[in-house]
Chain A
Amino acid sequence: MSDNIENNNQNMVTVYIDDQAYQVSSDNNLLAGVLSQKLNLPYFCWHPSMGSVGACRQCAVTQYQDENDTRGRMVMACTTPVTDGMRIRLTDEQSTVFREQVISAMMTNHPHDCPVCAEGGECHLQDMTVMTGHSTRDYKGEKRTFTNQHLGELVGHEMNRCITCYRCVRFYKDYAGGDDFGVYGSRNNVYFGRQQDGQLESEFSGNLVEVCPTGVFTNKLFSAHYTRKWDLQSAPSICSHCAVGCNTSVGERYGSVRRVMNRYNHDINGYFLCDRGRFGIGFVNGEQRIRVAKGINQQSPERLSSLDVAKALVHHKGKRFIGIGSARASFEANYYLKNLVGDNHFSLGLSADEMNIAALHKNFLAKNAAPSLQEIEQSDFVLIIDEDITHTAPRMALAVRQALRNASIDKADLLGIPSWQDSAVRTIGGTSLTPLYLIQSHASKLDDVAEQVILQKTKTTVAFVNELTEMLNTHEDVICFEHQHSSLLNQLLQAKKPLVIGGWGSRSDELVSAISEFVECLKQSKYLENSSLKCLLAPPQANSVGLLSLMDEQSLSVEQVLLSVEAGGESAKRELGIEGIILLEQELQQFNPQQLMTLKQSSLTIIALEHSENKITELADIVLPVAAVTEGDGHFVNYQGRIQPFYQVHPSVLPIQESWRWLGLLAKAIYPNHALAKEAKSLNELYQLFLQEDGHWPIRVNEAERATARETHRNSGRTAKMANNSVHEVKTTQSQDHYRYSMEGDNPKSSDNMPFTWAPGWNSNQAIHQYQQHVGGELISQSADDITQQSLDFTDVQVLKPCWVSQSNNGSEKINPTAERNFFLQKPWHKEEWQAALVPEFILVEQVNAVAVSKQMAKDNHWQAGQWLNTSLLDGYDNQVLSTAAQVFIDERISDDLIYGEFDCSANHQVQDISLSIATDEQVIDYQNRLEQQKQAAKTQQQQILVRLKQQDQYIPIRLVAGGLDDA
């Protein structure tokens, strides 16, 4: 196992554990050292990401001065540094007895309600109890009880199970910066919760489920349709809700997705996910799912066959189609589509403005390697320019928050206190933080830890960034330069590991261009010679970077696509030779009803490949049901260009299948002579096709990867599982990748790709340290040729000149309305992504429209904080006015030319104008009623889904081959 364990940059020393010599890193504490040797030592309060505080006393070991010392001294391993030659025992009597005593004391008040606990079977407390040998209960007294709280729709609360390890509050407050959760009471009556019942406000609240060693905090969505961990069928997946590309492990049973758990990735998500990723998977089971093909005549009512598809498309044989890709479809599908329709008929589904940003982004990636979240956490200066990463990439915001602690860690280091001594570092650090500068057009959830927040409209920010560049360019000695913002530049230039973050959030290509120039100029600066500047642009969606890697100067903007439609279907057909449009998981959010009507009325054939209903599937001529992220194999390319695989967690119910499989069928019908017009049975086959066509296809799969089980070794009786249908042992479904639909198989060669985390004695996700090179480090890979970490290479891509001129404004001069406007509206962070917005639980999360104005504006208009305003939003695409009530709050930091807010309504980035007036009572009541109706509808939907899924549990769909339509 330890063949290629790299102890990169670790200071290894010899430690004698139970008289045996081990090489242990002295950079971490003794507990981490012991666990890194894959030895068992129980613990609770310590967490590899949150360090040591010495509260639970569970990890006690006996330390000896030398070989002759027979008495030894008990120490807590988590607070003990590793020193060369140190001698400890894990098996001596005094520490063994003490560790059992600790558990038995913790359990005095534990309710022992394991049968009804959602943590059962993957409970760290259960594991540690068994590990210490505590097996009889001696406490004869009464147990104390607590009243639980309603913490919202996502996280359940059962305080009686608490063993008071303080991990929850340390994560929620100290690590994630939440302020609505805390610790109350004292003695053996310590309470973890909120001041009063209510939705947890942190976007990382779901991590409490994993951080808690027992069942105090549980995943409500999982509990609602509960199964034990050992009955789940799992596969490694990638979160599809943003471009960070957090690694997840998705669990399924009886054909429905049950939950998302964190899958450790040292470079990216580490141990934590955001709530959008954890709780946003419900769309897979959703009511909006498309389960049958539309616009295709089926020979057999039971099944759709390849022949049916071929027949339906027979008239289009050899005709030209425009293909519109999307940033939530897999890299394979987008690549396939582009190669089928041809470069000059391929659109990324972006507007001309967005195309310009994409082009700039591509150029940016060519010059700048984006840092991983792990690298972000090392920063000693952070500048974020008009990009609210708490919305677009929440996990990245959490990494930035950790970077800000480096000031404290450095201070502690001067006093000889290592960074893992968490409480000591916080004592020494006090309030000192690494500088974070936020330049943005609205408040964000990082404001509380920023050195300075500069709130201004995007246009001002463009000028501001240009000014910074100018200063760098023209002034020899910027450090001494007297300027309003010289502290920003000074701190940036004095930093050793500065980080600059921009993104698509402003929707302004001018700003992205300005940031690119600023970064280039910084790299030239003499001050940064000895420092490593990192910079990145945050793209909006899971596969945005994969998609923009396919972009070239021939790529079409959606305006150009629309033009060809508007030109009149017939003339388009005649003049451009275009038969129709293939939309690949593309909902064309930018299109207004009028444009959608044009699309509908044109005589072009609209083929939509989609997993859930939307405006496009309503009007499409042919709709092909595609697999959601958990139902198929594919890759997403994250913001860095990292190509990450997601695997089928469960076979989809036919005719639902992956987009790339549908494209194979479409290719055979429409482009029979095309080299790619073949049905690939697996991704491996597909890549062979791609490689024959284009030697540059970047993704390789390891064909030598060994069979790996999707099911746990303890999966409940395989033969009994479907006994209500048949008592015969059913053959397992044949998989097209190396994950087997059974409990047979080994661990994958690379621990990066484990379907779930489990090790003997470690049933919870904390088992991960058994697969890490050292605690908190890289995962162990046993294959010499590790292809699990692949990236797109942008370094020698052709530089694209932004050239997509918006033609929607009657060909008038290009204007950039987004940079000009003086307001900025966001959707709630958990609904910002289309798929997440389909999840009923997120609709139930309490949310009130809010609009922030300056003090002066409030004064002039006699508005009080908390007052209801009627907000009229003018949608730029269809000139429709959308009115909604919103609560006003006053932001003293902004000037009169800025308004911002968070709105849960359909209009968003397209809003052109905003007007505010005091709302009438009717308007407020109307809004509140609408909100209530929405909630009721979501609740009903939630219940309907649950009823349907529970019925489905009785009848398990059986598939023997998990790839391609079943034409048998």
Chain B
Amino acid sequence: MKAMTHPLTHLVNLSAPLNLEQYSELGGYQGAKTALVEHSPNEVLEIVKASNLKGRGGAGFPTGMKWSFVPNFEANDPRVQDNKYLVCNADEMEPGTFKDRLLLEGVPHQLIEAMIIAAYTIGANKAYIFLRGEYHLAAKRIQKAIDQAYQANWLGTDIQHTGFHLELYLHTSAGRYICGEETALINALEGKRANPRAKPPFPQVAGLFGKPTIVNNVETLCNLPHILKNGVNWFKEVSPNSDAGTKIYGACGRVKNPGLWELPMGATIGQVLNDHAGGMSDGLKLKGLLPGGASTDFLMPEHLDVPMDYDSIAKAGSRLGTGGLIVLDDQNCPVAMVLNLLQFFAQESCGWCTPCRDGTPWAVEILTRIENGQGSIEDIDALLNLCDFMWIGKTHCALAPGAVEPLKSALKYFNDDFMQHIEQGCCPYHRGH
């Protein structure tokens, strides 16, 4: 029954992931078989569209719709391309997020099966897994799984005598947060600087090596075998709300039991934090939290009843993002936390556009002074100005706006803390230490 309630994680085995044979015995590759044997690519596309699967990488864009943007030109159209690509974005570098790692290390064949389905649907014969450089164990396990899949004719030419070909390559990143941005990822994969590209053209039209390309997150892809196997209705019914399916939620920070849990999409923040993460560590109170990784707005204790689906979190003023909670307690300095996050974003800026390249370090400079007790009241305005300066529409990609989210919301919710730093000339949290 776990297969129906915990489709993504029920086969996870972190100490020894299932090999191809074991995975197949437990129902693995059935989704791929269903897709390749029973459906045309267009039918699979319609199934995925109907399932309302949304991207789990953070943006929540409907996967089927994304796929449908791959142009389908007639053979004699001058725009027709000789190749298309599928890329799995496994460059999981969002601070506080480690959900893809679980899937990559725990059940690698699930991803390979998913990629076969996706590649078949969009008509790609070449696919890449772009893996975070630091995920050494995942790299080893995925490569092993790929080798097994080739041997078992789940990859290579004429897969399972269906006539479908797929070459799958594992590419390990040199390690930049910006590679999580799909066009920067494509540049990196081409051996170029990992700068996000100008859009249009979107990757669906001209992506990797100028060919139509789909980039999907690990968790997004891993839903596919189950949608194919169990059907659209099952997928929609797993979740109590309109955002279908399950979601791997996580929690980190000073909670009793940090970790990951696959829950129906739309579990509340309180459920994740209290029922699964065991609540705050002894003696600590919840001060605030980032609901979906570092690049989301803070939410406060009064938001514990908010369901963690795309719309509800947005209504509360933040973003679901990756669904990995970063929890701040009352003994840690929110200014120091935001400073830490901004340092990360400043460090990871690709250096292409001015607001991000020069704005994030400027914010770090100001936050450092405030944290060290050398801030002034004007610095708060300066930070608010920088938040405007780096906001959506003004930058080349979403990195700087992502950095603004925790900063701006911290200025809103933790204004007292900022003012205390300035007025007392030191960090109130570190006074006693």
Contact = CB atoms under 8 A, between A and B. Distances in A.
A136 to B, nearest CB: 12
A949 interface: no
A188 interface: yes
A427 B197 contact: yes
B201 A74 contact: no
Per DSSP, are chain A's interface residues mostly helix, strand or loop, or mixed? loop
Contacts of B396: 54-55, 57
Contact of A188 (B79, B200, B357): B357
B242 to A, nearest CB: 29
B306 interface: no
Nearest to B78: A414
Given A98-B389, A415-B201, A57 B394 contact: yes
B76 to A, nearest CB: 13
A533 B318 CA distance: 61
Interface string A48-78: 0000011111101000000000000111000
Contact of A186 (B79, B176, B201, B389): B176
A102 B356 CA distance: 10
A109 interface: yes
A105 B201 contact: no
Contact of B198 (A56, A73, A423): A423
Interface stretch (B45-53, B123-131, B251-259, B345-353): B345-353
Given A54-B396, A101-B389, A415-B205, A186 B351 contact: yes
Nearest to A182: B193
A187 B357 contact: yes
Interface in A174-194: 183, 185-190
Contacts of B365: 139-141
A53 B357 contact: no
Contact of A108 (B347, B351, B362, B389): B362
A412 B200 CA distance: 11
A867 B98 CA distance: 56
A185 B365 CA distance: 20
Given A57-B394, A79-B198, A427-B201, A190 B351 contact: yes
B200 A417 contact: yes
B349 A417 contact: no
B382 interface: yes
B351 A54 contact: no
A191 to B, nearest CB: 10
B385 interface: yes
A341 interface: no
Contact of B382 (A138, A189, A423): A138
Given A164-B351, A429-B210, A74 B393 contact: yes
Contact of A190 (B78, B357, B369): B357
Contacts of A60: 394
B358 interface: yes
A55 B352 contact: yes
A74 B395 CA distance: 11
Given A187-B349, A188-B346, A427-B201, A74 B394 contact: yes
A57 B353 contact: yes
A421 interface: yes
B198 A53 contact: yes
Contacts, number: 119
B359 interface: yes
B350 A186 contact: yes
Interface in B352-386: 352-355, 357-362, 365-366, 369, 382, 385
Contacts of B360: 187
Contacts of A13: none
A75 B361 CA distance: 24
A73 B394 CA distance: 10
A73 B385 contact: no
Contacts of B361: 108, 141, 187-188
Interface string B112-140: 00000000000000000000000000000
A79 B97 CA distance: 34
Contacts of A139: 362, 365
A427 B349 contact: no
Contacts of B348: 187
Contact of B351 (A101, A105, A187, A415): A187
Contacts of B357: 105, 164, 187-188, 190
A427 B198 contact: yes
B354 A56 contact: yes
Interface in B180-213: 193, 197-201, 205-206, 209-210
Interface in A400-442: 411-412, 414-417, 421, 423-424, 427-430, 432
> What range describes how many residues of A lie at the interface?
35 or more
A430 B198 contact: no
Contacts of A75: 393
B353 A189 contact: no
Contacts of B78: 414
Given A105-B389, A141-B362, A187 B355 contact: no
A309 to B, nearest CB: 64
Contact of B385 (A57, A101, A189): A101
Nearest to B356: A187
A102 B351 contact: no
A105 B355 contact: yes
A324 interface: no
A60 B394 CA distance: 8
B81 to A, nearest CB: 10
Interface in B300-337: none
A430 B355 contact: no
A105 to B, nearest CB: 4
A106 interface: yes
A65 to B, nearest CB: 15
A421 B350 CA distance: 20
Q: Among the interface residues A57, A74, A190, which one has the most CB atoms of the partner chain B within 10 A? A: A57
A166 B195 CA distance: 12
A105 B205 CA distance: 34
Contacts of B385: 101
A75 B393 CA distance: 7
A416 B202 CA distance: 12
Contacts of A187: 346-351, 357, 360-361
Contact of B201 (A54, A163, A424): A424
B72 to A, nearest CB: 14
Contacts of B176: 186
Contact of A415 (B79, B193, B353, B369): B79
Given A74-B394, A186-B351, A414-B78, A105 B193 contact: no
A415 B207 CA distance: 13
Nearest to B183: A427
Q: Among the interface residues B198, B199, B369, B382, which one has the most CB atoms of the partner chain A within 10 A? A: B198
B201 A185 contact: no
A245 to B, nearest CB: 36
Contact of A105 (B209, B346, B354): B354
A29 to B, nearest CB: 12
A54 B394 CA distance: 10
A734 B355 CA distance: 53
Contacts of B354: 55-58, 102, 105-106, 163-164
A97 B385 CA distance: 10
B186 to A, nearest CB: 9
Given A188-B361, A428-B210, A56 B201 contact: no
Contacts of A102: 354-355, 389
Nearest to B355: A57
B395 A105 contact: no
7 contacts: A55-B352, A75-B393, A98-B394, A187-B350, A188-B349, A424-B206, A428-B210
Interface of A: 53-58, 60, 73-75, 79, 97-98, 101-102, 105-106, 108-109, 138-141, 163-164, 166, 183, 185-190, 411-412, 414-417, 421, 423-424, 427-430, 432
Given A74-B394, A187-B350, 7 more contacts: A55-B354, A101-B389, A140-B366, A187-B348, A187-B357, A416-B200, A424-B200
Nearest first, the 4 A-B pairs at minimum CB distance are A430-B210, A141-B365, A105-B358, A190-B351
